[in-house]
Amino acid sequence: MKMANDYRIDQNEKISLKKFDPQDTSWWQKDKADAKKELKKLRAKLIDLQQLLYSENKHKVLIILQAMDSGGKDGTIRSIFKGVNPQGVSVESFKVPTPVELGHDYLWRIHAKSPQTGEIVIFNRSHYEDVLVVRVHSLVPKKVWEKRYEHIVQFEKLLTDEGTTILKFFLNISKAEQKNRFIERIEIPEKQWKFNPRDIEERKLWGEYMRAYEEVFSRTSTPYAPWYIIPADQNWYRDLAIAEIIVDTLQKLKMNYPQPVENIDSYKEILLED
């Protein structure tokens, strides 16, 4: 699929985020209205595929969303998974670790939230915070976080060996677009609850975060758990791109509904005679 190839990061590929345009919409040659129609079609396919995944109960799917503050993770989830049966989909966010979580290794709480068979789990932020925020703010020494890239690669290999399909998306917004979104949060009453003054301080570390993300992509994108850098300044294009990649990936699983019980038609006759 052309779109996936455009945004997918190869293993050990050296990345400069300056070469990835957050405003890119080149894959979609039609207008925005047509894009919305296409997204609606993709949602319908996703609804069917999720039901098939849940019914077959053989595969597990983990979708990881990472972004800078105001990058659109929540909006992406609401838009793409609109109408999907919540029985087989869950969203997990990872806040400051609890005392119990701090008593274990940093991947312990992540593993506990990983998908079970028949389930799609979406990580709204993830274990990658332990080589992003932890690195940028020097929360642990470099000799500690430096080892975590290999830990994460091996952890994701374990998940995929046990039947998990992993897709990792970085919602790539520009610094200018982040500024616009922060101003919206300040000006629009319904969005003011989202604004945190701490976000302004984090914004000052933009360059450090970009370098940390570049190393993440170069060191943890693998054939079995690839990273996709998605242009995210335009919400409609972001949603279209991610939905297309998810649907294409699920279709490649070649799923089938379980076989019905033997002589199923005979049970209809029993009910009709009731």
Residue 2: the pLDDT is 57
Cα angle at 264 between 263 and 268, to 5 degrees? 120
The backbone region for 197, taken as left when phi is positive above 0, alpha when psi lies in -120 to 50, beta otherwise, is: alpha
Three-state secondary structure call for residue 228: strand
Residue 191, Cβ neighbours under 10 Å: how many? 13
Cα angle at 17 between 71 and 245, to 5 degrees? 60
Residue 98: the pLDDT is 87
Tokens matching residue 58: 């053989």
Residue 4: the pLDDT is 64
Tell me the domains of the chain and their CATH numbers: 2-255 (3.40.50.300)
Residue 91: the pLDDT is 97
State which H helix or E strand residue 9 sits in.
none
The residues, any chain, with a CB within 8 Å of residue 18's CB and separated by 6 or more, are none
The residues, any chain, with a CB within 8 Å of residue 236's CB and separated by 6 or more, are 32, 35, 36, 39
Give CA–CA dist 199/131, Å, rounded: 19
Give CA–CA dist 224/221, Å, rounded: 8
Give CA–CA dist 133/158, Å, rounded: 24
Q: What is the block-wise mean pLDDT of the chain (274 residues), using blocks of 10 residues?
A: 77 94 92 93 97 96 97 96 93 90 94 97 96 95 96 98 98 98 95 92 97 98 97 96 96 93 83 80
Residue 3: the pLDDT is 65
